[in-house]
Chain A
Amino acid sequence: MSEKKTNKVMIQAKNIGKRYGQDIILERVNVRVQEGEFITLVGASGCGKSTFLKMILGIESATEGELLLDGKPIPNEPGSDRGIVFQQYSVFPHMTVLQNVIAAKGFQKSSMTGYLFGKEKDVANQEAREMLEQVGLGHVLNRYPHELSGGMKQRLAIAQAVICKPRILLLDEPFGALDPGIRADMHALVLDLWRKHKLTIFMVTHDLKEGFYLGTRLWVFDKLRHDPHAPNAYGASITYDLPVGHMPEPLF
């Protein structure tokens, strides 16, 4: 596991369940996550891994059990301590690359509009440029998102999220739509940012190899019980919780 482990429980799920009407998506999820872990979530489609991510994000809530952040119930709306990168639509199409990141800085300020002026603006501008340099977008500062490739858009979305210094970074199949070659670059970037900014990362992925290679801990979501006559009668849970990592890079 990670050598950065601080033995402090950050996220704790106590017997969490989620149902939509008659359909049970998740049941009896019990886990503890410490600060600095890099957790990858894998499993078949519709097995609740994205739902679990959305609970941490705050846009879904558990129908049973409790999800705690630092011992307190997790807020039921998104906040700046939990960053997110979705598979798509994660950047603002009406702002250039640089403006996207500066806007993220502006949102940190509590004002009506989040526009920055004077010295604050210069500082944000400088920080944004450095951040974009770090994710490899230093050469496209003035382009609009529609002029970027899929990989570059995701780099921008990550830069936006990381510059706000979240404690937790949530990645919802962020590289699902990218070519394999580009994916390897993105993995390097995410690992680099994870170490540099001491993030706790949850990443949903369909790619098992990615899950094994990237994380310090791999969760497999699956159904423990199955009723063939009522496929939705039982929900999924975390069936495997494996310490992973240190996979040889040439696997990719």
Chain B
Amino acid sequence: MKKLINYKPNRTSNILLGLLPFAVLIMVYMVSSDARLAMNPDDKLLPAFSQMGESMYRMAFEPSKRSGELLFWQDTASSLTRLALGVLIAGIVGLFVGVLTGALPIFSAGFSPLLTVVSLVPPLALLPILFIVVGLGEVSKITLIAIGITPFIARDIQRRTQEIPAEQLVKAQTLGASTSQILVRVVLPQIMPKLIDAVRLSLGAGWLFLIAAEAIASTDGLGYRIFLVRRYLSMDVILPYVAWITLLAFLVDYLLNKLNRRLFPWNVEGQS
């Protein structure tokens, strides 16, 4: 009998063990839901999967009576657009600030203290200011996401830039490289996969700010919808929406990871 610490599951049992908690969770939900519905068929707290299916079919395939839109897809498109724009802006600004402060000591001296302070400001506390300054439209939501995750990305990129071995920068100079050539040819390409990693890590916060902004002031979006139907205790809509948001978050993360491997084959762990 091996010690527990040396016991490694094989491939099949690895997958089965991974699926087990999901199966247990679903089972527990179904049993509880059935029990509640048996007592009160109008119970709204734990709807059956069939009820959720009906509601979601209505949201996804029947035009809304009020606006004539397919609400589910409309919500998804709006939310993803906001998230993508916010993250894109944060990525570009973060990359720019991070590389410059990481590679050039004079920029670091000028901006690092500011960056540290800015990253400590709670972004949600700025939301009222954004509403006052830029209004309740799309800009405020996108700005909130951008402001929320830019400091994180900038600081991460700054650290990654500083991690590039000094030998490489010296070597480039002995080959005749100027500062801009070093930034464009040596630093930037090596930072790109780190940028994608930083974006992956910041997406969780991105979703948080998106849903918070949509909950407060919006007319569509995934976050808006779940906060709207909360008034009617519509768990049959909220639960599938939460699952859908989780799935989207998973897919975006997965695709970014794939993209990273595809674009940067030289970026392997433990490289020298």
Considering only CB atoms and an 8 Å cut-off, how many residues of chain B contact the other chain? 26
CA distance A112 to B188 in the complex (A): 13
B171 close to A112 (CB less than 8 A): no
B42 within 8 A of partner (CB): no
Q: Which residue of A lies closest to B168 (CB)?
A: A89
CA distance A164 to B175 in the complex (A): 6
CB distance from A55 to the nearest CB of B (A): 13
Q: Which residue of A lies closest to B268 (CB)?
A: A146
Contacts of A95 in B (CB 8 A): 189, 266
CA distance A106 to B180 in the complex (A): 13
B186 within 8 A of partner (CB): yes
CA distance A80 to B175 in the complex (A): 5
B265 within 8 A of partner (CB): yes
Q: Which residue of A lies closest to B193 (CB)?
A: A94
Contacts of A194 in B (CB 8 A): none
In the complex, which residues 59-105 of chain A have their Cβ closer than 8 Å to any Cβ of chain B?
59, 77-80, 82-84, 86, 88-95, 103-104
In the complex, which residues 50-76 of chain B have their Cβ closer than 8 Å to any Cβ of chain A?
none
A144 close to B265 (CB less than 8 A): yes
B167 close to A77 (CB less than 8 A): no
CA distance A189 to B16 in the complex (A): 56
Main secondary structure of the interface of A (DSSP, over half): loop
Considering only CB atoms and an 8 Å cut-off, how many residues of chain A contact the other chain? 38
CB distance from B126 to the nearest CB of A (A): 36
Choice from B178, B185, B266, B271 contacting A103 with Cβ under 8 Å = B185
Given contacts A89-B272, A114-B181, contact A83 B266 (CB under 8 A): no
Given contacts A79-B174, A92-B186, A166-B174, contact A107 B181 (CB under 8 A): yes
A50 within 8 A of partner (CB): no
In the complex, which residues 141-183 of chain A have their Cβ closer than 8 Å to any Cβ of chain B?
144-146, 153, 157, 160-161, 164, 166
Query: What 1/0 flags go to A172-208 for Cβ under 8 Å of B?
Result: 0000000000000000000000000000000000000
CA distance A93 to B170 in the complex (A): 15
Contacts of B173 in A (CB 8 A): 77-80
CB distance from B271 to the nearest CB of A (A): 4
Residue among A107, A113, A145 with most chain B CB within 10 A: A107
Contacts of B172 in A (CB 8 A): 92, 107
CA distance A88 to B165 in the complex (A): 10
B189 close to A94 (CB less than 8 A): yes
Given contacts A89-B165, A112-B180, contact A106 B185 (CB under 8 A): yes
Contacts of B177 in A (CB 8 A): 107, 114
Given contacts A89-B165, A92-B168, contact A104 B175 (CB under 8 A): yes
B113 within 8 A of partner (CB): no
CB distance from A75 to the nearest CB of B (A): 10
A110 within 8 A of partner (CB): yes
In the complex, which residues 75-113 of chain B have their Cβ closer than 8 Å to any Cβ of chain A?
none
CA distance A161 to B189 in the complex (A): 21
A146 close to B171 (CB less than 8 A): no
B174 close to A83 (CB less than 8 A): yes
Contacts of A88 in B (CB 8 A): 165, 167, 272
Q: Which residue of A lies closest to B169 (CB)?
A: A78
A110 close to B178 (CB less than 8 A): yes
CA distance A239 to B117 in the complex (A): 53
Residue among A92, A94, A115, A153 with most chain B CB within 10 A: A94
Residue among A57, A89, A157 with most chain B CB within 10 A: A89
Given contacts A94-B189, A114-B185, contact A146 B175 (CB under 8 A): no
CB distance from A60 to the nearest CB of B (A): 11
Contacts of B268 in A (CB 8 A): 146
* 18 A-B contacts (beta carbon < 8 Å): A78-B174, A82-B174, A86-B167, A86-B170, A88-B272, A89-B171, A92-B185, A93-B266, A94-B264, A106-B185, A107-B177, A107-B178, A107-B185, A114-B177, A114-B181, A144-B265, A145-B271, A166-B174
Binding site for A on B (CB under 8 A): 165, 167-168, 170-178, 180-181, 184-186, 189-190, 264-268, 271-272
Binding site for B on A (CB under 8 A): 57, 59, 77-80, 82-84, 86, 88-95, 103-104, 106-108, 110-115, 144-146, 153, 157, 160-161, 164, 166
